[in-house]
């Protein structure tokens, strides 16, 4: 089934609409949040530019479970600036007889900045998850979206997830496709550690920096975040469709993964606002 059909089949269970108020602050103008989601109040993190909003998207249910089909939609109107994140990693639980799906659409209008940087997905044995992220960005908007995953067997064995299907679409405001990242992998392939596939690295992270007004600067920003350490293998490149740049990292541990993702975030933020983000302890 195509992601669009799924979105049409069920209304979004989670919709947030951000606007820039006349005073310059980004405010949450529209909010429709149903179980299992919970949205904290709009925060201003010290160190961020005045009016910059940070919002934690939380799930009350303790992760993603078999049979769940979650729909999320975030809209940032002209000039709004918002950082969306999670309070913790998302556990993708065992799914012996089914699967879960999550789709998110981010629309960023003129001059808006949306950062969507959730903590990693932790894939348990037999987990089957399909995630779809659609980024629809105006020519002057910026969207930074992250995705990362690792596998974990809570029983301490070598049980592996069955499927992670991940699709990220970058579209122009009129829906024209600019860039598409789609991968499908199962845990035993990750454990297989083949050269050229994931090598000896069990964790993966991706940052998409959609910055249509100046893709070369987006690439320069992400390249500046690339580490040179033996525990990670990372690169950055220009996206197709002149829509920005992207970074992909393979890592051996969660600390190394997070360091690269954070460095990419800081560089992307500096590109847009001129200063590094305020960091809030989780």
| Shortest distance (Å) from residue 69 CB to other proteins | 19
Among 57, 122, 151, 249, binds other proteins (CB under 8 A): 249
Among 36, 49, 51, 241, binds other proteins (CB under 8 A): 241
Greatest CA separation for the chain: 56
| Shortest distance (Å) from residue 241 CB to other proteins | 6
Stretch 88-127 residues interacting with other proteins (CB under 8 A): none
Residue 138 or 245: which CB sits closer to other proteins?
245
Q: Is 235 among the residues that bind other proteins (CB under 8 A)?
A: yes
Q: Is 135 among the residues that bind other proteins (CB under 8 A)?
A: no
Residue 54 or 204: which CB sits closer to other proteins?
204
Among 9, 180, 276, 279, binds other proteins (CB under 8 A): 180
- Tokens standing for residue 138: 């105006």
Q: Is 223 among the residues that bind other proteins (CB under 8 A)?
A: yes
Q: Is 45 among the residues that bind other proteins (CB under 8 A)?
A: no
Residue 75 or 166: which CB sits closer to other proteins?
166
Cis bond upstream, residue 36 (ω within 30): yes
DSSP string, 180-238: EEEEEE-HHHHHHT-TTTTTT--EEEEEEEEETT-HHHHHHHHHHT----TTEEEEEEE
Those residues with Cβ within 8 angstroms of residue 214's Cβ, 6 or more apart along the chain or in another chain: none
| Shortest distance (Å) from residue 165 CB to other proteins | 8
- Tokens standing for residue 216: 């070369």
The C-alpha atoms of residue 48 and residue 61 are separated, in whole angstroms, by 30
Among 55, 123, 250, 259, binds other proteins (CB under 8 A): 250
- Cα separation values, 234 from 113, 135, 195, 239, 260, Å: 25, 23, 14, 16, 8
| Shortest distance (Å) from residue 249 CB to other proteins | 8
DSSP string, 250-269: EESSHHHHHHHHHHHHHHHH
State phi, psi for 68 to the nearest 5 degrees: -75, 140
Among 194, 229, 242, 282, binds other proteins (CB under 8 A): 194
Q: Is 282 among the residues that bind other proteins (CB under 8 A)?
A: no
Question: Is residue 47 left, alpha or beta, with left meaning phi > 0 and alpha meaning psi from -120 to 50?
Answer: left
- From 90-98, 135-143, 182-190, 263-271, give the range in contact with other proteins by CB under 8 A: 182-190
Those residues with Cβ within 8 angstroms of residue 193's Cβ, 6 or more apart along the chain or in another chain: 199, 200, 201, 202
- Cα separation values, 113 from 79, 165, 197, 238, 278, Å: 7, 27, 33, 19, 15
Q: Is 227 among the residues that bind other proteins (CB under 8 A)?
A: no
| Shortest distance (Å) from residue 128 CB to other proteins | 15
Q: Is 181 among the residues that bind other proteins (CB under 8 A)?
A: yes
| Shortest distance (Å) from residue 150 CB to other proteins | 13
Residue 74 or 190: which CB sits closer to other proteins?
190
Task: List contacts with other proteins (CB under 8 A).
Answer: 2, 165, 167, 177-185, 189, 194-201, 204, 223, 233-241, 246, 248-250
């Amino acid at each position: 089934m195509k992601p669009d059909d799924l979105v049409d089949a069920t209304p979004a269970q989670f919709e947030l609409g951000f606007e820039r108020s006349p005073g310059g602050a980004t405010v949450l103008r529209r909010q429709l949040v149903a179980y299992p989601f919970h949205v904290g109040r709009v925060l201003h993190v010290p160190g961020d530019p005045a009016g910059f909003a940070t919002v934690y998207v939380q799930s009350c249910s303790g992760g993603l479970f078999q049979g769940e089909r979650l729909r999320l939609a975030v809209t940032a109107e002209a000039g709004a600036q918002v950082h969306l994140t999670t309070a913790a990693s998302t556990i993708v639980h065992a799914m012996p007889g089914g699967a879960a799906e999550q789709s998110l659409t981010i629309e960023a209008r003129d001059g808006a900045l949306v950062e969507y940087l959730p903590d990693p997905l932790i894939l348990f044995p037999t987990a089957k998850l399909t995630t779809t992220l659609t980024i629809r960005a105006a020519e002057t908007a910026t969207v930074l979206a992250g995705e990362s995953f690792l596998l974990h067997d809570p029983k301490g064995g070598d049980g592996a997830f069955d499927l992670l299907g991940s699709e990220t679409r970058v579209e122009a405001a009129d829906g024209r496709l600019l860039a598409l990242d789609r991968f499908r992998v199962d845990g035993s392939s990750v454990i297989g550690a083949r050269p050229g596939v994931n090598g000896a690295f069990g964790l993966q992270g991706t940052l998409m920096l959609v910055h249509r007004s100046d893709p070369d600067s987006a690439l320069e920003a992400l390249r500046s975040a690339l580490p040179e350490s033996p525990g990670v293998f990372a690169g950055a490149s220009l996206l197709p469709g002149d829509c920005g740049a992207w970074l992909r990292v393979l890592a051996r541990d969660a600390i190394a993964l997070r360091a690269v993702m954070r460095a990419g975030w800081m560089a992307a933020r500096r590109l847009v606002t001129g200063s590094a983000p305020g960091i809030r302890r989780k």
